[in-house]
Structure 1
Amino acid sequence: MKYYLIAGEPSGDLHGANLIRGLKRADPQAEFRFWGGDRMAAAGGAANLSKHYRETSFFGIVQVVKNLRTIRRQMRECRSDVEAFAPDALILVDYPGFNMKMARWARERGIRTLYYIAPKVWAWREWRIKAIRRYVDRLYIIFPFEREYFASKGIAPVFEGNPLVDAIEARRTTLPTAEEFRRRHSLDDRPIIALLAGSRRGEIRDNLPLMVLLSQRFPDRQFVVTGVPWLDRALYDRYLAGSDIRYVSNETYETLAAAEAAVVTSGTATLETALLGIPEVVVYRTLWFQVKLQPYVLKVPWVSLVNLNLGREAVAEIIQSDLSVERAERELRAIVRGGEKRERMLRDFDQLRTTIGGPGASERFAAEMYRFLCNEKLKMKK
């Protein structure tokens, strides 16, 4: 069969690549074309990469508004390319702002549409539920708690585990020891606290200053911030100046593996940190009125994927509008070695791994997609 995949971010590129490999195993005759990145190009062939996500990633309302003309042009290009390829299935990987529009367009043209990694409508923009019911033929979810949620909305989702587990397991054996990591980056012997300040400029701006203040209260620890390669080092240096915090780039898993504990902004990183077995505190700074409105706007009681999947507060979530550091200090002291919450949190992470499911999710999702499409073809022949 012919598969057209659309991913618009680094995480989608990673999961899209693993899905392509799974589809190749399930369907040896598979042909691919896709929007994605280097990982998908490596898995599905560089010649089949139609557009790199570096050209399509626009974060935040301001960026989207400033680039509306470019986004509309890219949408037209994508639709033309899909039509020219004439796939048996369009597979949309996360990236809902773009992909939900593609779902509607595909349904209107009779193209079978599979949505892989559902939009987080359980947190916000719940109005997208109606569009998912109307335009998506098969919805694939990666969090256990989503099964009940989507079923309550009249959608029968497919859950086969979380592909993040595959990505972590693929890296686990290659990760350096704490000693090797220290030598590589000329770090001292103090225990390491990993700082994951986010992957966007606004997140760095809002969260890194708090992390700098926090580090000053732990002179017996070495704090290391994990930079992302698509943001300039100068952005981090602006906030790190005068601090003892060390900077490393594109080594998030390596830093976590060497760390005693971590301070993490909300997002997928909270789940990655937990699956690697590193105790964490979740912090996120936002505007004061957004903090006040959170109980009314956010559809779920927690922001971290750890708590959402466990259904309770296993990790502390500090959502604030100011730079108050006192609670962050208390929570971090509670999870470093000897802290009163550390062992309980590690047991919670063991339960989380069981809840999320084991490795092989990407292959299981791919096999289910292939079975579904084969069954749909048989129905059409009858």
Structure 2
Amino acid sequence: MRYYLIAGEASGDLHGSMLIRGIRQQDPNAEFRFWGGDLMAEEAGIPVRHYRELAFMGFIEVLLNIFKVLGNIRFCKKDVAQWNPDVVILIDYPGFNFRIAEFAHNKGFKVFYYIAPKVWAWKEGRVKRIQRNVDKLFVIFPFEIDYFKRFQIDAYYTGNPLIDSVAKKIDALPTLEEFKAEHGLDERPILTLLSGSRRQEIAKCLPTMAKLAERFPDFQVVVAGAPSLTISDYNETVGALPVKIIFGKTYELLAFAKAAAVVSGTATLEAALIGTPQVVCYQASPISYYIAKRFIKVRYISLVNLIMDKPVVKELIQHDFTIDKIAQELNELLYDSPARSAMLHEYQLLRTMLGEPGVAYRVGEQMVTELKQLKA
């Protein structure tokens, strides 16, 4: 069968790559066409569009690039119609994918949504678009099952796909000594910075986070470079601060770090599953933050706290996002302390909640089964 997948961000590229493997295990003759990134490309060839062409963050940033966004939507609709897939699989990225869902549904294509839009956090009215245009919904957090039942939507949950990616990476880790030698790191322990995957996030958050190199001279501060960016994007931001940037080694940097400062997003959950104590950071433009604050309904921004429904990790948002407050939190987490031990204990409970490895296989099996039934 023919599968058309659309992922618009780095996390979607990761989940999409694992999903392609899972589908192919169930449907060896599967054909794929996709919007995504380098990880999906490793599984299914050249993307129609790379997510770096799509990743705009915040209300103002989207508005400034609106003509490019609309042009991509028009092209995607045309491409879907011409390729004529058996199913369109949308991966998160709701602003773009909801428009494609409506188009695909109206044209008679089956529509699966993988990684449900976070309508439980804000824009709950979007649930109606899921009811109207999505044939099957596949979620990655256990609490979403009961949430969507309130709207008569049967959501499928087979575990969180990060369980698979983390397990695979951890099994293939080099030793700490090998890693340091390969990347020119010294003997000091590592403090890792995950400053986001978009240029806007880097520009807003990294200048403050990079100052940790001055606050913690006994640690080497290393930034996990996002695959969609270049070394110049980071050098312009960190300036002369003694910070090293390493690309393509996010899981290794988390696994070997004593602690991490992490911009809110999928990376907060990755750090927790790997077992890295963290402080969560976030800063947006004042207008984007003001608008979001008026509409977001949840108490937390990090996935760790949302899933556990309590403040497991400290969140420093907007005005609280200062070098003094970040350093204060890391002073507790970089060394043996009750705060560090408590966080690691909560991480163990979180892993239990999210299920066993094999998620990509299970969700791929479920998608192929459901598609066969829908087309019967």
| TM-score scaled by length of structure 1 | 0.90
Counterpart code for 2:265: G
Q: How many angstroms apart in 1 are the aligned matches of 2:223 and 2:183?
A: 12
Q: Is 1:330 matched up with 2:328?
A: yes
Aligned residues: 376
1:141 is matched with 139
Task: Determine if contact 2:3/2:30 at 8 Å carries over to the other structure.
Answer: yes
| Deviations 1:153-174, CA, capped at 9 Å, x for gaps | 3322111111122122222222
Q: How many angstroms apart in 2 are the aligned matches of 1:115 and 1:108?
A: 16
Q: 1:295 to 1:200 in 2, by over 3 A?
A: closer
1:175 is matched with 173
Q: 1:198 to 1:71 in 2, by over 3 A?
A: closer
Counterpart code for 1:281: V
Q: How many angstroms apart in 2 are the aligned matches of 1:289 and 1:4?
A: 35
- SS of 2:337's partner is coil
- SS of 2:185's partner is coil
1:291 deviates by: 6.4
Q: How many angstroms apart in 2 are the aligned matches of 1:187 and 1:41?
A: 30
1:31 is matched with 31
Task: Determine if contact 2:7/2:35 at 8 Å carries over to the other structure.
Answer: yes
1:113 deviates by: 0.7
Q: 1:220 to 1:72 in 2, by over 3 A?
A: closer
Q: How many angstroms apart in 2 are the aligned matches of 1:136 and 1:282?
A: 33
2:252 is matched with 254
2:5 is matched with 5
Task: Determine if contact 1:176/1:258 at 8 Å carries over to the other structure.
Answer: no
What does residue range 272-291 of structure 1 map to in structure 2 within 5 Å? Answer: 272-286=270-284
1:280 deviates by: 0.6
RMSD: 2.3
- SS of 2:217's partner is coil
Task: Determine if contact 2:197/2:226 at 8 Å carries over to the other structure.
Answer: yes
Task: Determine if contact 1:285/1:322 at 8 Å carries over to the other structure.
Answer: no
Please identify, of 111-120 and 219-228, the stretch whose mean Cα deviation from structure 2 is larger. 219-228
- SS of 1:260's partner is strand
Task: Determine if contact 2:60/2:288 at 8 Å carries over to the other structure.
Answer: no
Identify unmatched segments of 5+ residues in structure 2: none
| Deviations 1:239-289, CA, capped at 9 Å, x for gaps | 433423222223211211211111111111101111111111111124567
Q: How many angstroms apart in 1 are the aligned matches of 2:191 and 2:30?
A: 45
Task: Determine if contact 1:89/1:111 at 8 Å carries over to the other structure.
Answer: yes
What does residue range 1-382 of structure 1 map to in structure 2 within 5 Å? Answer: 1-46=1-46, 49-286=47-284, 296-321=294-319, 324-378=322-376
Task: Determine if contact 1:291/1:319 at 8 Å carries over to the other structure.
Answer: no
Q: How many angstroms apart in 2 are the aligned matches of 1:280 and 1:95?
A: 25
Please identify, of 311-320 and 233-242, the stretch whose mean Cα deviation from structure 2 is larger. 233-242
Task: Determine if contact 1:287/1:321 at 8 Å carries over to the other structure.
Answer: no
Q: How many angstroms apart in 2 are the aligned matches of 1:320 and 1:65?
A: 21
| Deviations 1:178-211, CA, capped at 9 Å, x for gaps | 2222222332222211111112222222222222
- What is the aligned-residue identity percentage? 46
Counterpart code for 1:327: K
Counterpart code for 1:5: L
1:365 deviates by: 0.7
Please identify, of 2-11 and 308-317, the stretch whose mean Cα deviation from structure 2 is larger. 2-11
Q: 1:314 to 1:364 in 2, by over 3 A?
A: same
| TM-score scaled by length of structure 2 | 0.92
Counterpart code for 2:260: A
| Deviations 1:121-176, CA, capped at 9 Å, x for gaps | 22222221111111111111111222222222332211111112212222222223
